Amino acid sequence: MDTMFERYGGFTIVSRVVSSFYDRVLDSPIMGPYFNGVDMKRQIDHQTKFIAFLMGGPASFSDEQLKNVHQRMDITQDAFNEMLELLTETLEDFDFSDADVETVRKEILRRKPIILKQH
């Protein structure tokens, strides 16, 4: 059985999805400021691997890695919600099925406690 990653065309499509997602993110007044001064080529490459991982692709990420990366970013609930909405819109624009969009959303929501700032 093919993974979602394989069904949608592997890294080629995931990379296009992530690039489109970051176009939206950088235009967002909520999300854009998180990426001031960030090397976006590197960010897109990293996020492409992460989304590929969520889709059953070959990359792997531990919860500890995600926590370490996001801990210092002070990500708010509003920013998390905005990110999830922008990603959902992007996946829909790339004709991901509703079920596959929901699978990706659930995988990200499962990691919400790791990504949000801790008080």
On whether residue 1 sits in a domain, the answer given is: no
**Which letter does DSSP use for residue 58 in this model?**
S
**Residue whose C-alpha is closest to residue 48's, from 23, 22, 92, 11:** 11
Our count of domains for the chain comes to 1
On whether residue 82 sits in a domain, the answer given is: yes
On whether residue 2 sits in a domain, the answer given is: no
Within 10 A of 39 (CB to CB), how many other CB atoms are there?
10
Both tokens of 111, joined, read 């990691």
The CATH number of residue 84's host domain is: 1.10.490.10
On whether residue 92 sits in a domain, the answer given is: yes
Q: Which domain holds residue 52?
A: 7-115
pTM of the model: 0.91
List the chain pLDDT tens, one digit each, 119 residues.
Answer: 699 999 999 999 999 999 999 999 999 999 999 999 999 999 999 999 999 999 999 988 777 878 877 777 888 999 999 999 999 999 999 999 999 999 999 999 999 988 886 65
| pLDDT given at position 70 | 79
On whether residue 106 sits in a domain, the answer given is: yes
Instruction: Kindly tell me the burial class for residue 110, based on how many C-beta atoms sit within 10 Å of its own C-beta (0-12, 13-18, 19 or more).
Output: exposed
Contacts of 3 (CB under 8 A, 6+ apart): 55, 56, 57
